[in-house]
Structure 1
Amino acid sequence: MGVGDSRNGAHLTVTDVATVTAFYAAVFEAVPVQRECLLDGRVLHAELVVDGHRLTVSEWSDGPGEPGGPGGPLPLAPADPHQLVQRALAAGATLEPTGGGPPVGVVFRDPAGLRWAVPAP
């Protein structure tokens, strides 16, 4: 799995596009824009819009990807951070330790293993 920037937004390289895009729809209220499937129905590539940002999720990348960092690929600022974290946990996210300093928010991993940091309200 990797994360890279594309001309139209962030690009995630994952092994299961369908699972990841379903997670983003449930948690981030992502809106699907386009997707490419094989004849057997497996999703190879999907484009989503998340909070006004374009996000591409695919099993391949046109360029080198960087491993997912602690902040994730998109600068999201949810109106209700607690609700977003609750949706993430309900959709299968796992909580990550934040490092022992003063609490600045919550960090979780999505089904692709990417870390997302949600700021404290």
Structure 2
Amino acid sequence: MNKHENTWATYQAAWRDFAADERHHLLTQSVAAEGHHLDSRGEAHGVDELANYITAFRTSAPGSIFKDYRYLEHHDQAIANWTLNGSDGLLLTKGASHARSGGGVELTEIAGFFLA
């Protein structure tokens, strides 16, 4: 796993059921302070806002987990195809995310797309 894929894995781990301080720590390790996340449900600017956004999402899908089934990257950009499975392991939806790291390792822009 290269450094960009490690960063993505850390970011994605922040979407799991963690206490607020652990989620914030994972995000500070993977998202630039001014990072921007958006998806069809809303958007968040900066690590603090993103941590709150994820916490709100977790209340709508407790115990669920994102799993990548494809990760591609080049030139400080990445695409990840993923599934969101419920706590019972059943598929809730599929999706894709596009991320940019802006020349560094931390993610500066993340766009998520729910496909089903």
Larger-gyration structure (1/2): 1
Structure number with the higher strand fraction is 2
TM-score (norm 1): 0.26
